[in-house]
C-alpha cells in the first residue's frame, strides 16, 4: 500500500469497480501519511467526471512488521456502526476485505478536515483546555451510551460485567505468565485490582485506544474519533482511565483539569451514578484500562526475542512498560491511602 508507483492505478481500478457511475476515474495524488503507528496510512485525491474526493487508506503492514494484530473487518464493522449512529468518525466509504485490490486488507475513509487535538492543546491552555475537557466527556458519551444491541455482531458479547472485569484483571497475570521473562509487577497489579473492584456498570462499546493522538478537533470544537482497531464491548470507564494513563506521559490530562466536574459531566451524559464514576474509580481504571495495550507491547518485545518480529519500535516501546510500572505503583499507593481515609459505609 506504500508503493506509490503502483497504488494510483490499483486504487483507481478499485474505486471504478465500487462506483460504476463514476467515469474517467483518476488518482491525481497519492502520498504516504506519517502517524500510522500500527497500520499503513496513505492519502489520495481522486478525480472523476462527476467531481473530486480525498480519501485516507488504512491497511495492514506485512505480518512480521505488525506492531499489534487486529482485524480490519471488525474495524470496518465498528466504523460503519459508529457512523450510522452519528458518532464523529472519519466516514467509512469502501473496504478491500481480501487485499486483492489494494495489496493488503484496507479501509478507504473520507479525509477529515479537522485539527489534530494534541498540537491544538499544546498551543492553547486555560479556557480552551476546559472546553476540550467538556468535549472529551461528550465524545466518549456518544458511543458509550449506544445500546449493545445496536453494535456489530462481529464484536464478542461478554456474559456479564463480573465475567468481563474478571477476565480483564486476569489478563495482567496471563500477560506475565506468557512473557519471555519474569514480570512480577503484573501479577501484583492483577491481585490489587481483583481485591478492589469498583461498582458494576452496564457494558458498552469501548474504543480501546482513547487518547489525544486518536482525536481531532472540528472547527466547532467537537472531537472526531480515529483508529477503532481495538474496539470491543466492555466497561466504558476503561476508555477514560486509559486516556488519563496516556496523558501522564503526553499531556495535558483533560480529565484532571477539574476531575470532579469531568466525572459529573460524564455521569450526566451517560446516566452513571457518582458511586459508579468518580475520581477514585477513574484512577482505578487508569491502571486496569491499559492492559490491552500493555499486553500487545509486551508481546511485541517478546516477538523480537523469539525472532518473529523485526520492528525496532517494539523494543523502543518496552520503555513505556517501565514508565507504566512506576505509574501503576504510584496509583495503587495513592488509592489505598484514599480508601483508608474514606468514611466507613453505614451499617
Tens-place pLDDT, residues 219-232 = 999 999 999 999 99
In this prediction, residues 10-24 reach a mean pLDDT of 96
Cα distance between residue 5 and residue 141, in whole Å: 43
Whether residue 345 has pLDDT greater than 60: no
What domain count does the chain have?
A: 2
Over the stretch 297-315, which tens digit does the pLDDT of each residue have? 777 777 777 777 777 777 7
Task: Determine the 3-state secondary structure of 309 from DSSP.
Answer: coil
Domain final position from 61, 76, 110: 110
Domain final position from 50, 85, 110: 110
In this prediction, residues 154-181 reach a mean pLDDT of 90
Band (346; pLDDT cuts 50, 70, 90)? low
Domain final position from 75, 110, 145: 110
* Same domain flag for 37 and 123: no
Phi/psi for 145 (5° steps) reads: -95, 5
User: What is the chain's mean pLDDT, rounded?
Assistant: 90
State residue 135's pLDDT score.
97
> In this structure, is residue 172 part of a structural domain?
yes
| CA-to-CA separations, 11 to 44, 84, 107, in angstroms, rounded | 9, 25, 12
> In this structure, is residue 74 part of a structural domain?
yes
* Same domain flag for 179 and 54: no
Give the DSSP H/E element, type plus range, for residue 108: strand 106-110
* Same domain flag for 170 and 300: yes
Whether residue 269 has pLDDT greater than 80: yes
Band (45; pLDDT cuts 50, 70, 90)? very high
Domain with 32 in it = 24-110
Over the stretch 70-92, which tens digit does the pLDDT of each residue have? 899 999 999 999 999 999 999 99
Whether residue 342 has pLDDT greater than 70: no
Whether residue 169 has pLDDT greater than 60: yes
State residue 37's pLDDT score.
67
Q: How many residues does the chain have?
A: 347
* Same domain flag for 259 and 126: yes
> Is the separation of the CB atoms in 255 and 136 below 8 Å?
yes
Band (258; pLDDT cuts 50, 70, 90)? very high
Band (247; pLDDT cuts 50, 70, 90)? very high
Q: What is the CATH number of the domain that holds 46?
A: 3.30.200.20
Over the stretch 104-128, which tens digit does the pLDDT of each residue have? 999 999 999 899 999 999 999 999 9
Band (344; pLDDT cuts 50, 70, 90)? low
* Same domain flag for 231 and 264: yes
> Is the separation of the CB atoms in 118 and 250 below 8 Å?
yes
State residue 335's pLDDT score.
87
- Give percent of the chain above pLDDT 70: 96
* Same domain flag for 138 and 78: no
Task: Determine the 3-state secondary structure of 3 from DSSP.
Answer: coil
> In this structure, is residue 11 part of a structural domain?
no
Phi/psi for 204 (5° steps) reads: -145, 180
Cα distance between residue 213 and residue 310, in whole Å: 25
Can you give the pTM of this predicted structure? 0.88
> In this structure, is residue 15 part of a structural domain?
no
State residue 343's pLDDT score.
65
Amino acid at each position: 500500500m506504500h508503493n506509490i508507483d503502483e497504488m494510483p492505478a490499483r486504487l483507481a481500478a478499485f474505486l471504478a469497480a465500487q462506483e460504476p457511475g463514476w467515469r474517467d476515474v483518476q488518482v491525481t495524488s497519492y502520498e504516504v501519511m506519517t502517524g500510522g503507528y500500527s497500520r499503513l496510512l496513505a492519502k489520495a485525491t481522486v478525480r472523476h467526471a462527476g467531481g473530486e474526493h480525498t480519501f485516507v487508506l488504512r491497511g495492514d503492514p506485512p505480518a512480521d512488521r505488525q506492531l499489534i494484530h487486529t482485524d480490519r473487518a471488525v474495524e470496518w464493522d465498528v466504523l460503519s456502526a459508529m457512523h450510522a449512529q452519528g458518532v464523529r468518525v472519519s466516514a467509512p466509504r469502501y473496504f478491500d476485505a481480501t487485499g486483492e485490490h489494494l495489496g493488503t486488507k484496507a479501509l478507504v475513509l473520507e479525509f477529515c478536515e479537522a485539527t489534530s487535538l494534541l498540537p491544538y492543546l499544546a498551543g492553547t491552555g486555560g479556557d480552551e483546555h476546559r472546553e476540550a475537557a467538556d468535549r472529551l466527556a461528550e465524545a466518549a458519551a456518544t458511543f458509550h451510551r449506544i445500546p449493545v444491541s445496536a453494535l456489530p455482531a462481529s464484536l464478542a458479547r461478554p456474559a456479564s460485567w463480573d465475567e468481563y472485569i474478571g477476565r480483564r484483571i486476569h489478563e495482567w497475570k496471563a500477560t506475565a505468565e506468557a512473557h519471555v521473562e519474569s514480570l512480577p509487577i503484573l501479577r501484583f497489579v492483577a491481585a490489587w485490582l481483583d481485591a478492589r473492584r469498583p461498582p458494576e456498570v452496564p457494558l458498552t462499546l469501548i474504543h480501546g485506544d482513547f487518547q489525544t493522538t486518536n482525536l481531532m478537533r472540528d472547527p466547532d470544537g467537537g472531537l472526531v474519533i480515529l483508529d477503532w482497531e481495538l474496539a470491543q464491548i466492555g466497561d466504558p470507564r476503561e476508555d477514560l482511565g486509559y486516556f488519563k494513563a496516556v496523558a501522564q506521559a503526553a499531556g495535558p490530562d483533560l480529565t484532571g483539569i477539574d476531575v470532579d466536574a469531568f466525572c459529573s459531566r460524564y455521569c450526566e451524559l451517560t446516566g452513571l451514578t457518582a458511586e459508579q464514576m468518580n475520581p477514585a474509580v477513574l484512577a482505578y481504571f487508569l491502571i486496569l484500562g491499559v492492559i490491552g495495550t500493555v499486553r500487545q507491547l509486551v508481546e511485541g518485545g517478546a516477538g523480537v526475542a523469539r525472532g518473529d518480529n523485526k520492528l525496532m519500535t517494539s523494543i523502543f516501546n518496552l520503555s513505556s512498560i517501565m514508565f507504566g510500572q512506576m505509574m501503576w505503583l504510584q496509583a495503587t499507593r495513592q488509592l489505598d491511602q484514599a480508601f483508608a481515609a474514606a468514611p466507613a459505609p453505614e451499617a
